[in-house]
A and B are shown apart, each in its own frame.
Chain A
Amino acid sequence: MIRYTMFLKRKSILHSIDPRSKIILSLFLFVVCIFFNNPFFVGTLFFSLIIFLKIFGKVEIRKTLSFLKPMLPFVIMIMLLWILLGSEKGNVIYQIWKLKIKDVNIAMAFAMGFRVLAMILSTFLLLMTTEQRDLVLALVKMKLPYDYGLTIAIALRYVPTLASLAVSITDAQKARGLELEKGNILEKIRKYVPILVPLIVKSIQLAQELAIAIETRAFGKPNRTFYRDLKFKFKDLVFLFAAVIFFVICLYLRIKDYGTLDI
């Protein structure tokens, strides 16, 4: 089974909060991650987010980690780059040939690693606790034109369709002797042509039919109504208020130069 959404069905406070408040929290968290570069600060932020998700979103820590796992190679690469190509300052603690490994750069590598993880998690937090349709609806309510909202929703909707189409096409070509694993990099890339061409042709066909289907459902008539609605309740306001306070505190700390390393 191909997973088509990150949404996890739970009965939690975080799930019940209006997506608009959550979008703003998510944005704040994302920006706050950039504020600090002290590895202990950013690390604390990252672990707090995991615990926050556990307590308020009822998302098991194991589940959160399993979502983050595919991102690890990317994070490790960033960390290695910092260790090897970081600042000229600091004390050399280890040297192999010409590569000097410095204490400052190790600290920065951890800070950057945690920063990327925390940034990813602040987005995931939104996606794990909000249904896609509510997310799109929230964006439309936040004055995104409906056409754009519909486009985003449709794009998300057809991810699994195209994924299973890609599997069927690959199967069909394998049955004609296509071996994707064999050959050097150039040959491997060329081997994807027989998969990509039918996939693109069928996607275009799907898009054309889709356009007709949308038109037959009276799309474009003025004065559209919305069946689903979002009601901004008192608790959503409280949540939003808390997010703003959190952001302001972080901003204050940043201005006072807490949580940063001088390099």
Chain B
Amino acid sequence: MIRFKDVSFRYSKDQNYVLQDISFNVKKGEFLGMSGPSGSGKSTLCLMMNGIIPKTIQGDFSGDVYIDGENIAEKEIYEISEKLGLILQNPESQLFSMTVEEELAFGPENLGIKREEIEDRISWALRLVSMERFREAFPHQLSGGEKQKIAIASLLTMKPEILVLDEPTSNLDPKSRIEIFKIVQKLNRKGMTVVVVEHETNFISTADNILILNEGRIVRYGTPKKIFREADFLKKIGVRVPEIVEFSHCLLKDGYTDDIFLSVTEALEGLNVKSRRSLL
């Protein structure tokens, strides 16, 4: 679904490359988590997925990016946007309409969708993010979490096959974070290909694969179990490790287990505390 082949990039004003020799694949329906310390090139990578880099933000670009088998170099951004939706960190800048309803209509309007169809899509998208009550609301008056849900919904009305989220919750409270990630997981289960960038690795521990960036290069790639096995390496480069994983590393070190746990449930299973599982 997404394929990067030997991609390197340098912003016009900078001397150093932000990204170098990036190659990876994301399969249809896959959930890819991405992490890395600040300045490792995560956001730049996201902007490449729909061609904003190098089409709008220019610089020294080499390599090829394929979305759904097609090289996006030959495509317009609006053509790519039909397939791939991108959510940025700050929801305020992504909601530029007077009402939620118009926000959700903006994308499909640009795509030239008929009115009745847009109407249906708005209702559908609002239901998906559980925000039906806010159809007539003014975006500025919503809370941070609500804004981000509407930002997601405003892409869903374009019916993309891929959703890329660049630190979508970094300014939100824990409750909203969990809500947003539940929505993302739901979309993934429905078959959508999802890429989530997060420095809070708790939220990508359920991903199919995780990609770790450091200083503009891919330094690790694999399943969460494989990635989190190297907790010391992650911490060394400045990537947070989920607390449950840290706990299981303590157990691992002293030989109480031979596997790491990614969730409370896994930890309880691993520790054979079956009787207490009902407490969850």
Q: Chain A interface (Cβ within 8 Å of chain B)?
A: 4, 131-133, 153-154, 156-158, 160-161, 206, 209-229
What are 15 A-to-B residue pairs whose CB atoms are below 8 Å? A153-B98, A154-B96, A206-B90, A209-B88, A215-B77, A215-B78, A218-B77, A218-B107, A220-B78, A221-B79, A223-B112, A225-B108, A227-B102, A227-B108, A227-B115
Interface membership of B218, Cβ < 8 A: no
Instruction: For B93, list chain A residues within 8 Å (CB).
Output: 206, 209-210, 213
Report yes or no: A227 in contact with B105, Cβ–Cβ below 8 A. yes
Task: Tell yes or no: B192 within 8 A of A by CB.
Answer: no
A217:B158 contact, CB within 8 angstroms: yes
Is B15 an interface position by the 8 A CB rule? no
Q: Which of B47, B90, B119 contacts A227 (CB 8 A)?
A: B119
Chain A residues with CB under 8 Å of B56's CB are: 211-212, 215
Interface residues of B in 64-98 (CB under 8 A from A): 76-79, 81-82, 85-86, 88, 90, 92-94, 96-98
Whether B106 sits at the interface, judged by CB under 8 Å, is yes
- Interface pairs A-B: 3 shortest CB-CB: A209-B93, A227-B105, A218-B78
Taking a contact as CB atoms under 8 Å apart, the answer to whether B78 and A219 are in contact is yes
The answer to whether B98 and A131 have CB atoms under 8 Å apart is: yes
Q: How far is the CB of B165 from chain A (nearest CB, A)?
A: 12
B contact residues, range: 35 or more
Contacts of A220 in B (CB 8 A): 76-78, 110
* Number of inter-chain CB pairs below 8 Å: 109
Known: A218-B158, A225-B115. A133 touches B94 (CB 8 A): no
User: Which residue from A153, A206, A218 sits with its C-beta under 8 Å from B97?
Assistant: A153
Q: Across the interface, name the chain B residue whose C-beta is closest to A132.
A: B98
Whether the pair B96, A216 counts as a contact (CB closer than 8 A) is: no
Q: Return B174 CB to nearest CB of chain A, in Å.
A: 22
Shortest distance in angstroms between A201's beta carbon and chain B's nearest beta carbon? 14
Q: Is the CB of A161 within 8 A of B92?
A: yes
Residue picked from B47, B77, B118, B154, most chain A C-beta under 10 Å:
B77
Contact between chains at B115 and A161 (CB < 8 Å): no
Contact of B88 among A161, A212, A219 (CB under 8 A): A212
Q: Which chain A residue shows the least CB distance to B139?
A: A157
CA distance A228 to B98 in the complex (A): 13
Chain A residue with Cβ nearest B57: A212
Chain B positions within 8 Å of A, measured between CB atoms, are: 47, 50, 52, 56, 76-79, 81-82, 85-86, 88, 90, 92-94, 96-99, 101-102, 105-115, 118-119, 138-140, 154-155, 158
Is A225 in contact with B92, judged by CB distance below 8 angstroms? Answer: no
Q: Tell me the complex Cα distance, A64–B83, Å.
A: 49
Q: Which A residues are in CB contact (< 8 Å) with B140?
A: 4, 157, 160-161
Shortest Cβ gap from A150 to chain B (Å): 8
Residues on the A chain within 8 Å of B76, using CB: 220-221
Residues of A within 8 A of B155 (CB): 216-217
| Cα distance A222–B110 in the bound complex, in angstroms | 8
- Cβ 8 A contact of A218, one of B82, B88, B96, B138: B82
A219 surroundings in chain B (CB, below 8 A): 78, 106, 110
Q: Of the candidates A156, A215, A222, A228, which one forms a contact with B102 in the assembled complex, judged by CB atoms under 8 Å apart? A: A228
CB-based nearest A residue for B110:
A218
A211 vs B158: C-alpha distance in the bound complex, in angstroms?
18
A218 to B158, CA, bound (A): 9
Name A156's closest neighbour in chain B (CB-CB).
B98
A157 near B97 with CB under 8 A, answer yes
CA–CA, A153 and B109, complex, Å: 16
The residue in chain A whose Cβ has the minimal distance to the Cβ of B97 is A157
Q: Known interface pairs A218-B78, A220-B78. Does A213 touch B109 (Cβ–Cβ under 8 Å)?
A: no
Q: Of A160, A211, A221, which is within 8 A of B78 by CB?
A: A221
Is B112's CB under 8 angstroms from A221's CB?
A: yes
A225/B106 in contact, CB under 8 A: no
CB-defined contacts of A206 to chain B, threshold 8 Å: 90, 92-93
Residues in B neighbouring A223, C-beta threshold 8 A: 112
